[in-house]
Amino acid sequence: MILVTGSAGFIGANFVLDWFLQHDEAVVSLDKLTYAGNLENLASLKDDPRHVLVQGDIGDSALLNKLLALHRPRAIVNFAAESHVDRSIHGPEDFIQTNIVGTFHLLEAVRAYWGGLTAQEKTDFRFLHVSTDEVYGSLSPSDPAFTEEHSYQPNSPYSASKAASDHLVRAYHHTYGLPVLTTNCSNNYGPYHFPEKLIPLLIVNSLAGKNLPVYGDGQQIRDWLYVTDHCAAIRCVLQKGRAGETYNIGGWNEKANLEIVHTVCALLDEFRPRDDGLSYKSQIVFVADRPGHDRRYAIDASKIARELGWKPAETFDSGIRKTVQWYLDNQGWVSNVQSGNYRQWVEKNYTGRS
């Protein structure tokens, strides 16, 4: 079996759901169930004997030791993190605690467990750390896309905390020989994406008749990847990746934020036209920029294509259509995640911004 952390969040949940569509190997999920962790994402696995969900913190060494001894996983996939840049600007401490200190405790527990395995089990074992392209910093329009050799230049408390965790993972390989893999992926989108992030926020706000807040001039560029393509890439790295290596994952799909906003509006105009016949574009509002806002991310995903044979299955056109449709079909999920907690965040981040 494998142990997956952060599996009640956006990518983790997609990964676990997708895992069971491919094969029957059991999964133990460990998730703290923060505001971003949602049991509803894994509801379809409630009575599935292949899956166990444990509520807990990756920083809880005693719990980790117990889980590892009990379940004896052949691999760990570490998604658990605080993941939202704007939240890291308002309050960095949770990011330091989970992304850096939590990853450290997880690595320590895994190192002790791995040390007790047989020689063959040790060789076969993998610790896969899921990271982000944001650790590489920001590109100018003419710069080549990030390769795995690009220096680390994180600019936000979020990306700095992810960079620190990547360095710890690397050090545990070089110092202790732990067979680690690190993946650095670009922006994901798709089902179960928490509506604090751009694409789900646009869909949810459009349908609620609210403003569509565009930071600054809206010309910042992100490289978008449909979430199940990310999940497939992680499975591929887990299966075929060389221990100690880093793999960039991306969709070869750079788009300015304003283009994303226009695309989402056009799809909603098609699928669910407004009663007054106006386009959802009429809800766009330019608001104060994010402090230290990275201008451009772009991933060069040639290494994973060349060495492991992975490439994305979805185009942006197919992925974004599925995504918008999913949110239209899952309005119950949307209203359940918009708790008091969510409303407080929206007030904190957007009040006084326009």
Among 103, 188, 228, 283, binds ligand NAD (CB under 6 A): 188
Phi, psi (deg, nearest 5) at residue 204: -65, -45
Which contiguous run of DSSP H or E holds residue 248? strand 246-249
Q: Which is nearer to ligand NAD, 189 or 283 (CB)?
A: 189
Stretch that binds ligand TYD, among 3-11, 18-26, 42-50, 196-204 (CB under 6 A): 196-204
- Is 73 a binder of ligand TYD (CB under 6 A)? no
What letter does residue 282 receive in the DSSP assignment? Answer: G
Among 32, 150, 222, 230, binds ligand TYD (CB under 6 A): 222
8 binds, among ligand NAD, ligand TYD, none (CB under 5 to 8 A by kind): ligand NAD
Q: How far is the CB of 123 from ligand NAD (least distance, A)?
A: 26
Stretch that binds ligand TYD, among 2-10, 162-170, 211-219, 328-336 (CB under 6 A): 211-219
Q: How far is the CB of 303 from ligand TYD (least distance, A)?
A: 22
Interacting residues with ligand NAD between 38 and 67 (CB under 6 A):
57-59
Dihedral in degrees, nearest 10, Cα atoms 324, 329, 334, 336:
-170
Report how far apart, in Å, the C-alpha atoms of 148 and of each of 47, 140, 182, 250 are.
Answer: 41, 18, 10, 12
Is residue 133 flagged as an active site residue?
Answer: yes
Antiparallel, parallel or unpaired: β 126-132 and 246-249: unpaired
SS3 for 255?
strand
Interacting residues with ligand TYD between 274 and 293 (CB under 6 A):
290
Q: Which is nearer to ligand TYD, 51 or 197 (CB)?
A: 197
Half-sphere exposure of residue 62: CA atoms within 13 angstroms, side-chain side: 0
> Among candidates 201, 293, 191, 314, which has minimal Cα distance to 250?
314
What letter does residue 146 receive in the DSSP assignment? Answer: B
Q: Which of 158, 172, 189, 327 is catalytic?
A: 158
Binding-residue total with ligand NAD (CB under 6 A)? 31
213 binds, among ligand TYD, ligand NAD, none (CB under 5 to 8 A by kind): ligand TYD
222 binds, among ligand TYD, ligand NAD, none (CB under 5 to 8 A by kind): ligand TYD
Classify the phi-psi angles of 126: left when phi > 0, otherwise alpha if psi is within -120 to 50, otherwise beta.
beta
Which contiguous run of DSSP H or E holds residue 327? helix 316-329
Is residue 158 flagged as an active site residue?
Answer: yes
Among 20, 215, 342, 345, binds ligand TYD (CB under 6 A): 215
Is residue 276 flagged as an active site residue?
Answer: no
SS3 for 344?
helix
Distance of CA 209 to the CA centre of its chain: 27
- Interface ranges with ligand TYD (CB under 6 A): 85, 187, 197-198, 201, 213-215, 220, 222, 257, 290
